[in-house]
Amino acid sequence: MGETKKCALVTGGSRGIGRAICVQLAKDSDYHILINYNSNSEAAQETLAQIKEAGGSGELLPFNVVDANIVKMTLDTWQENNKEAIIEVIINNAGITKDGLFMWMKPEDWSDVLNTSLNGFFNVTNHLIQKLLVNRYGRIINMVSVSGLKGTSGQVNYSAAKGGLISATKALAQEVAKRNVTVNAIAPGFIKTDMTSEMDEKELKKMIPANRFGEAEEVAHLVSFLISKKASYITGEVISINGGIYS
């Protein structure tokens, strides 16, 4: 038996908050980082390069979280090729927005956003959780949003998806806590990423008590703490990181 290779899987890990999480975990932990992404392999390669630069190790694991069969096949194949490895940390970060007023919302704008956040969480976590429970240790982090807590106009679909994920977090946490598996959600406010690049930062920051957008790295530090042994007694929580916009 070789030494067990402990891994952390980050979905939607190629850009934005996902990338920042991958790089931060490489700096703060010994985890081998599995960078999941759907289509942007160039961005994922850049994330991998930054992980290596930070002295960590990682690899790319492309799949669409929405497709249950592909998720299962990819993860099973990976496990088959890495028999000594165990995925101990799952960061469900993959998410998309398709904003618009509810009245004009197309059915696919509703279902695509819900599928990515909610079914994506189910497909990945449901497939991997048995190993965490058998192993009696694990960390699951679901990236949600201030929209899932307070609701945001023009984001009924995204608010519904993230609100659902928040409740799933709280329920699952109760099921698995006895086995030292914690399940928490992190709810960012306005963070500087591709997703918010079109927004009017100058105008919006007036609503934010901290008077600025957050940095992806600030979110990543919180993830890093929650997946550590230090956070063993925190579970079922939704932790906001939003400069005081909603507390």
Please list the active-site residues: 158
Residue 98 CA: distances (Å) to CA of 72, 85, 108, 112, 161: 26, 36, 9, 8, 12
Expressed in angstroms, the distance from the first to the final Cα of the chain is 49
The arrangement of strands across the sheet holding 85-92 comes to 57-62, 32-37, 5-10, 85-92, 138-143, 181-188, 238-241
Tell me which DSSP letter residue 38 carries. Answer: S
| Greatest extent of the chain over all pairs of C-alpha atoms, in Å | 59
Cβ distance 93 to 143 under 8 Å?
Answer: yes
Task: Tell me which residue of 67, 25, 60 sits closest to 42, measured CA to CA.
Answer: 60
Q: CA-CA distance, 187 to 240, in Å (whole number)?
A: 5
Task: Tell me which residue of 232, 139, 229, 126 sits closest to 185, measured CA to CA.
Answer: 139
Tell me which DSSP letter residue 31 carries. Answer: P
Which residues have C-beta within 8 Å of that of residue 146, sequence separation ≥ 6?
152, 187, 188, 189, 240, 242, 245, 246
Encoded tokens for 180: 């030292």
